[in-house]
Amino acid sequence: MVEISVRQAQQLLRLDENKLLEQLGVRAVAAANAAPAAPEIASGPVAGTLGVREDMKELGTRILRRWNRVAYDLACGNDPDDASMRTELEQALHVSEAAAIGVLSGGLITIGLSALIAPVLAALIVKKFFNPAYGEFCGYWKKKLPAEETTN
């Protein structure tokens, strides 16, 4: 499984939601342009070099909306194929937000999300829904999903 460093996860945690959404858009553009590696969080390309900042934030918002349900099902669903990842995530949530970002990011990558995008998406999810109690994490997240798709 692909892993991100604790330092990378901590850098992501220092960004506010708007910056994370912008970074998600920037990385999506980089992934679409076949960039060989993730831009550094602190010194990577700014949104202005790849497009207008608000456009990158809007793109990031759309990506979050699209992958939110998939990530929820992975982390909180009941598919037996994802059971070990859910166990790892539950344990990581008791360690730190950075650990949870690492586990969730790796899980997202294994189901097909770009390694450029997964850490930022995982950081957004953990920042928005993190709670030291795993059951509460999933319950709170489920309440925030679009109403038409809450089945688990």
Name the nearest CA neighbour of 97 among 23, 18, 4.
Answer: 4
- Across 8-22, 24-38, 45-59, 75-89, least confident range: 45-59
Give residue 120's Cα distance to chain centre: 5
Q: What angle do CA 54, 60, 66 make, to 5 degrees?
A: 140
| CA distance to 1, 8, 50, per residue, from 60 (Å) | 24, 19, 13
User: What's the pLDDT band for 93 if we cut at 50, 70, 90?
Assistant: confident
Q: What pLDDT, in 10s, does the model give residues 110-137? A: 999 999 899 999 999 998 877 556 667 7
Give dist(CA 107, CA 118) in Å, integer. Answer: 9
- pTM for the structure as a whole: 0.78
Average pLDDT (8-28) is 91
Instruction: Kindly tell me if the per-residue pLDDT of 43 is higher than 50.
Output: no
Q: Which amino acid is at 60?
A: G
Name the nearest CA neighbour of 75 among 88, 65, 56, 58.
Answer: 88
- Residue with more model confidence, 36 or 33: 33
Give dist(CA 68, CA 141) in Å, integer. Answer: 9
Q: What percent of the chain has pLDDT over 90?
A: 45
